[in-house]
A and B are shown apart, each in its own frame.
Chain A
Amino acid sequence: MQPIHLAWVDYTILLAYVAFVIGIGWTLARYMKSSSDFLTSGRSIPTWVTGLAFISANLGALELVGMAASGAKYGIATAHFYWVGAIPAMVFLAIFMMPFYYGSKARSVPEYLQMRFNKPVMGLNAFTFAVMTVFASGISMNALAKLLHLLLGWNYDISLWICSAVVLIYVLKGGLTSAIYTEVLQFFMIVLGFAPVVWLGLKDVGGWNVLKGNLASVAQSPATIYVNDNKFAPDAWTSAWKPLLGGSANNPMGVDVFAMVFGLGFVLAFGYWCTNFLVVQRAMAAKNMTSARRTPLIAAIPKMFFPMLVILPGMIAAGLAFTGKDGYRLPPPPISQANYSAAVAAVKSASPADTDADVKAVGDALGKKIDSTKIAALIAANAKTKMADEEIQNGIYNSVAENDYDSVILSLVKKYCPPGLLGLALTGLLASFMSGMAGNVTAFNTVWTYNIYQAFFVPNKSDAHYFWMGKFITVVGILLSIACAYFASHYSNAMDVIQLVFGFVNAPVFATFLLGMFWARTTGVAAFIGLFGGICTSTIFHALTIAAGNTPGIKGGYLGIQHTFPSEMAQNFWLAAFAFTGCFVLTFVISLMTKRTKSDTELKGLVYSLTPKIKDEDQPFFARPAVLGTILLIACVIMNIIFW
């Protein structure tokens, strides 16, 4: 992809955004008077703000870039990450779990674990969470700096440090409140920056019905655009459930129904949305219990429609690539100009008499998988009529038989956005990365200050001391994130390793919370051993399984292959299911074998059966969390039926 040249108006929009987010931090600085103000917002933020921040903190790079990539690869089935893998969990969090998080006055999710169980359980959760947030923040910033380098030709180091400095300034000035307020700004920036790209793309492709026709052709012959070597039913890219019900061989994700519903919809979704402090922190900053319970429900409304904003562009790209309209193709992986030049030279020196050897020479020069038929045709065309180098390079570009899915959304931005709108879309992209980093850093500084530093190293100091530590660790957190970004950029499989560890740690955690919140008999010893056992279960499961097409090693199977899954996604979903089950069974059995250390009185407000139910009768009927949640679940079912 050739670097894009920005116009003055694009730079103006970028700079205006940066000025406003720093201005918000600066304005809020005067209200930061205690560690509680800085790290927990003093529980003072209105519902609509926490609701949009809740969704924006999750709207990082993965969402914008990754979901468009999956939209091109898998079609509308990607929406399972929303309609199965998010909405039900968000409703559950609002109705059943927020009363305990907020009512217990815990300052963080790990702190709830200390109140419910004991310090070691909190320590294990806090330590793993702190490490993961720093790595997640680093991954996000590495992706942003790489993207700015690839897209705009900006220097990687300068991009990384400047973007990190902007986040540091507004978080250091205004703490969690600043992060939450800027997340609301970022939410609108992302939605309003990308909505016109979707609209123009849909208009260009000829509307939804034409796109469905194009995607039916893609499904029946996905190899045409180098998406998949198998062939599927015509509705594989436009139906969410029918291909899934046909079994793992009949849908492009390679996932079966049980793995999707239990692995993603229950274990991973509830583990993320109900226990990840990064998002729960936004709800815990709400000004009262009602606000805290409504926060995930308000967030669920835009979340339900986000597939239109983030998945549809990928589907549009796949449809456009199949028709080849205006010469569009799914972007190939980055190839250096030196490799292109070598491949052009190989085409020019080729003779039609020895095509097979010449095609191989072009592929070797390019260093990528190529479409032999297209290259052979290019060689023949050049032999017949001498072509210009640029024309040959264009032919080679269209013959690369690999796709760089992460560049799909950028290719559409580049295709449709004139100066002005380009600046808006790029600022939206920048906002998504920054909200991801700020969200991780604010969660990290709270967990470090309260649940690691205060709990284990320096208890009983003044609030001013913890306020200072909160600010100090914010700077450290940003610097560690930058170090992680360099780590991820220097080691080609660093991202795989980090994601793998995330999977091991995250998969079992919901079992601990589920038993802790809904079964008073669960003991601290059982929770600790169960959590640790769940992590071990996922590690062993990974060591004994692999996905088709992978070699034993970082992708699993290094202790012997007991089972081969059709896809990595299926392997990940099943890993989550096993880890959850391992943790659940261990915690349950050990609880029965160990003595309770907390009385019913001590567990009041922490366990469902021992806590008085919140009465919502004084609230308007449609504003009650249970009613709102039910409406959302019905709407979610309707979305699933529409795209069945």
Chain B
Amino acid sequence: MGLDIRWPIGLMFSLIGVLLIVVGAANGAQLNINIDLIWGVVLLVFGALMLLGAIRGG
């Protein structure tokens, strides 16, 4: 019905991914893991794949 839901999903998770990467890079490593950075990359890749699907799928 006129809206490809992959656009908002892709945009939102790309935005959140970038935010987490920025925070993770600024704050560094409750396991000695920089989970913000790791998960930010995961969300960015997921968001980018969604956007790619939306662009290719028309």
Residues on A facing B (Cβ under 8 Å): 7, 9, 12-13, 16-17, 20, 23-24, 27-28, 30-31, 37, 41-42, 44-45, 49, 177, 181, 184-185, 188, 192, 196, 200, 203-204, 326, 415-421, 424
B26 vs chain A, min Cβ distance (A) = 10
Report chain A residues within 8 Å CB of B43: 192, 424
User: Are B31 and A192 interface neighbours, CB within 8 A?
Assistant: no
- Taken together as a complex, chains A and B put the C-alpha atoms of A27 and B8 apart, in Å, by 11
B11-55 interface mask toward A, CB cutoff 8 Å, 1 = contact, 0 = none?
Answer: 111011001101110010011010110011011001000000000
Using CB atoms, name the residue of chain B closest to A7. Answer: B23
- Taken together as a complex, chains A and B put the C-alpha atoms of A103 and B13 apart, in Å, by 37
User: Are B5 and A49 interface neighbours, CB within 8 A?
Assistant: yes
A12 vs chain B, min Cβ distance (A) = 6
Report chain A residues within 8 Å CB of B35: 196, 200, 416-418, 421
Known contacts A23-B8, A24-B3, A421-B36: does B19 contact A188 (CB below 8 Å)?
no
Known: A13-B19, A185-B8, A188-B9. 6 other contacts (CB 8 A): A16-B12, A28-B1, A37-B1, A185-B9, A420-B36, A421-B36
Report chain A residues within 8 Å CB of B33: 200, 203
- Which listed residue (A12, A188, A196) contacts B13, Cβ 8 A? A188
A-B contact pairs, 12 of them (CB 8 A): A27-B2, A28-B3, A30-B2, A31-B2, A192-B13, A192-B42, A200-B31, A420-B19, A420-B24, A420-B40, A424-B20, A424-B43
- Taken together as a complex, chains A and B put the C-alpha atoms of A379 and B12 apart, in Å, by 53
- Which listed residue (A24, A45, A420) contacts B20, Cβ 8 A? A420
Known contacts A184-B9, A420-B24: does B1 contact A44 (CB below 8 Å)?
yes
Looking at chain B, what size class is its interface with the partner chain?
A: 20 to 34
- Which listed residue (A16, A177, A184, A203) contacts B1, Cβ 8 A? A177
B2 vs chain A, min Cβ distance (A) = 5
Known contacts A204-B31, A420-B24: does B2 contact A16 (CB below 8 Å)?
no
User: Are A421 and B8 interface neighbours, CB within 8 A?
Assistant: no
Report chain A residues within 8 Å CB of B46: 188, 192
Residues on B facing A (Cβ under 8 Å): 1-3, 5, 8-9, 11-13, 15-16, 19-20, 22-24, 27, 30-31, 33, 35-36, 39-40, 42-43, 46
Report chain A residues within 8 Å CB of B20: 9, 420-421, 424
Known contacts A185-B8, A192-B43, A203-B31: does B1 contact A12 (CB below 8 Å)?
no
- Taken together as a complex, chains A and B put the C-alpha atoms of A424 and B36 apart, in Å, by 10
Report chain B residues within 8 Å CB of A421: 20, 35-36, 39
Closest 10 CB pairs of A and B: A420-B23, A420-B36, A420-B20, A20-B12, A181-B5, A9-B23, A31-B2, A31-B1, A44-B1, A196-B39
B29 vs chain A, min Cβ distance (A) = 9
- Taken together as a complex, chains A and B put the C-alpha atoms of A149 and B20 apart, in Å, by 25
Using CB atoms, name the residue of chain B closest to A28. Answer: B3
Report chain B residues within 8 Å CB of A196: 35, 39
Report chain A residues within 8 Å CB of B24: 420
User: Are B30 and A326 interface neighbours, CB within 8 A?
Assistant: yes
A24 vs chain B, min Cβ distance (A) = 6
